């Protein structure tokens, strides 16, 4: 089986090498990032500017934060950009990442049916809003996929003293967009990052019902991978991308990205 695969790989590589469009095929890095940054169109805005400045292309693999960490741990990407500060610090502490730097932030919001059955519009805090959903036992769709958004949501349930479960709590195990599609279909509440919500078209009866509590802050961090664990990765080029994101130029590029007239990410590198 392995031999078959190896031969097939060689044959296919030859085939694609012949048709490759780029002469300089190695001037790229692979970035493991989150679906929220990809779906919002941020990378289509940032990558061309970075390429212009450095000649390096960035190939983005957009997955949930949990999977992005796994890709990083296995050394299948050159650098990681995700949004789960606790997980990121652990990633660096376990020596998978070389360092962790704040890049930008936005916030999470709660969306739900326009009638707002559980009364989230009157909630005076995020914890109050989550408690109201649990009390009303109104359907709530959770990512349930160990993504950054899923982790943030579970933390808030915990702080609100709710053990989410039962018929109203629907754990989907899918990406943000699919979760929004499901929420729209069943008129459920859900927890979503503002960027994905802004870019999302299939809202049906869903509306933004709660926003603004500082605990719903959503921080993104950049994590170059450990050189000791993965000596073969493109560390130099990954470092250039990392530094560019932190530079005035990169930070300005992030701030200038707008979708539907709204700024979606706010740079906050130190």
Partner 1 sequence: MDNAFQAAFQLIVAMDPVLIGIVTLSLQVSLTAVAIASVIALPLGAAIALWQFPGRGLVVVVLNALMGLPPVVAGLMVYLMLSRAGPLGQFGLLFTPTAMVIAQIVLILPIVAALSRQVIEELWGEYREQLQSLGVSRLRAIPTLLWDARFSLITVVLAGFGRASAEVGAVLIVGGNISGVTRVMTTAIALETSKGNLPLALGLGIILLLLVASVNAVAYIIGEAAKRRLG
Report in angstroms how near the CB of residue 231 gets to partner 1 at its nearest: 11
- Collect all residues with Cβ–Cβ distance below 8 Å to 206 and sequence separation of at least 6: 111, 112, 113, 114, 180, 183, 184, 187
CA dihedral 100, 238, 73, 175 (to 10 degrees): 80
DSSP classification of residue 21: -
Report in angstroms how near the CB of residue 93 gets to partner 1 at its nearest: 20
Overall size of the chain counted in residues: 270
Q: Does 212 bind partner 1 (CB under 8 A)?
A: no
Residues touching partner 1: how many (CB under 8 A)? 40
CA 193 to chain centre: 9
The 48-87 contact track toward partner 1, x by CB under 8 A, reads -----------xxxxx----------xxx-----------
Query: Locate tokens 């996929």: which residue?
Result: 145
Paired tokens of 207: 């509306």
Paired tokens of 139: 């359907």
Q: What are residue 244's phi and psi, to 5 degrees?
A: -65, -40
Nearer to partner 1, 68 or 216 (CB): 68
Nearer to partner 1, 36 or 222 (CB): 36
Q: Does 155 bind partner 1 (CB under 8 A)?
A: no
Paired tokens of 143: 């990512």
CA-to-CA dists, residue 11 to 4, 47, 158, angstroms: 11, 31, 53
Q: Does 95 bind partner 1 (CB under 8 A)?
A: no
Q: Three-state SS for 34?
A: strand
At what angle are helices 235-246 and 42-54 packed, to 10 degrees? 110
Nearer to partner 1, 119 or 177 (CB): 177
Which range of residues in 11-19, 81-89, 130-138, 261-269 is near partner 1 by CB under 8 A?
Answer: 11-19
Q: Are 189 and 183 in contact, with CB atoms under 8 Å apart?
A: yes
Report in angstroms how near the CB of residue 62 gets to partner 1 at its nearest: 7
Which range of residues in 2-10, 106-114, 187-195, 214-222 is near partner 1 by CB under 8 A?
Answer: 2-10
Q: Are 61 and 71 in contact, with CB atoms under 8 Å apart?
A: yes
Give the one residue of 107, 146, 171, 178 binding partner 1; rule: CB under 8 A: 178
Report in angstroms how near the CB of residue 267 gets to partner 1 at its nearest: 23
Give the one residue of 53, 182, 230, 243 binding partner 1; rule: CB under 8 A: 230
Give the one residue of 6, 48, 93, 236 binding partner 1; rule: CB under 8 A: 6
Q: Which residues bind partner 1 (CB under 8 A)?
A: 2, 4-6, 8-9, 11-13, 15-16, 19, 30, 35, 39, 43-44, 59-63, 74-76, 175-178, 180-181, 184, 199-203, 230, 232-233
């Amino acid at each position: 089986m392995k031999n078959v695969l190896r031969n097939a790989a060689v044959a296919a590589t030859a085939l694609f090498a012949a048709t490759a469009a780029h002469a300089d095929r190695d001037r790229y890095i692979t970035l493991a990032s989150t679906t929220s940054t990809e779906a919002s169109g941020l990378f289509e805005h940032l990558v061309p500017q970075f390429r212009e400045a450095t000649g390096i292309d960035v190939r983005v693999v957009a997955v949930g934060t949990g999977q992005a960490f796994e890709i990083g741990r296995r050394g299948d990407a050159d650098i990681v950009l995700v949004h789960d500060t606790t997980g990121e610090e652990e990633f660096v502490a376990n020596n998978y990442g070389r360092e962790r730097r704040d890049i930008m932030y936005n916030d999470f919001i709660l969306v739900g049916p326009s009638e707002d059955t559980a009364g989230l519009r009157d909630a005076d805090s995020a914890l109050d809003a989550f408690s109201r959903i649990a009390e009303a036992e109104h359907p709530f769709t959770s990512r349930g996929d160990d993504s950054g958004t899923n982790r943030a949501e579970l933390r808030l349930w915990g702080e609100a003293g709710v053990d989410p479960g039962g018929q109203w709590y629907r754990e989907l195990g899918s990406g943000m967009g699919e979760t929004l599609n499901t929420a729209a279909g069943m008129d459920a509440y859900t927890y979503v990052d503002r960027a994905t919500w802004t870019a999302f078209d299939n809202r049906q009866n869903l509306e933004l019902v709660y926003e603004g509590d500082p605990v719903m802050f959503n921080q993104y961090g950049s994590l170059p991978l450990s050189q000791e664990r993965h000596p073969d990765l493109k560390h130099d080029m990954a470092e250039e991308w990392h530094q560019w994101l932190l530079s005035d130029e990169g930070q300005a590029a992030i701030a200038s990205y707008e979708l539907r007239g709204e700024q979606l990410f706010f740079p906050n590198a130190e």
